[in-house]
Amino acid sequence: MMPREILEEVNRVSQPTLVNGTQAFVFDFLTCKIYKEDKTDYPNQRHPDDFCWVEIKAGNSKLSRHQYEMAKSCKIRFSLFRVRNVMTSPRKVEIDWAFDSLRAPQADES
């Protein structure tokens, strides 16, 4: 089950916007951790930290200003995956990953 603390954000960010006449979403995915103990016959309890917004970029493309501002405003973590050499064969594809790259470290983090 999705925690109440993040419902407003998920509803707000999940609404498509019109970009050049086409509906587009701010981020590519909202991911959620799964655990070995999870069951499939009823909803499993989740904490806000179990969720993460994900954006995937190819080559040197950058976040749009809207994506950047939205990511900064979100309570849910944000991860950016970049496929560097998108035109190469699948075996040679390189992916960089920046976890929560838009946030300053919290006081209790090193």
pLDDT grade for 95, boundaries at 50, 70 and 90: confident
Residue 85 near residue 95, CB atoms below 8 Å: no
Compute the average pLDDT of residues 66-70: 89
pLDDT tens per residue across span 15-51: 998 888 999 999 999 999 999 999 999 889 999 999 9
Question: Cβ contacts of residue 14 below 8 Å, gap of 6+?
Answer: 25, 30
The share of the chain scoring above pLDDT 70, in percent, equals 88
DSSP string, 16-69: -EEETTEEE-SSSEEEE---TT--SSSPPP--GGGEEEEEEEETT----HHHHH
Residue 13 near residue 70, CB atoms below 8 Å: yes
Domain extent listing, the chain: 47-104
Q: In this predicted model, which residue has the larger pLDDT, 32 or 86?
A: 32
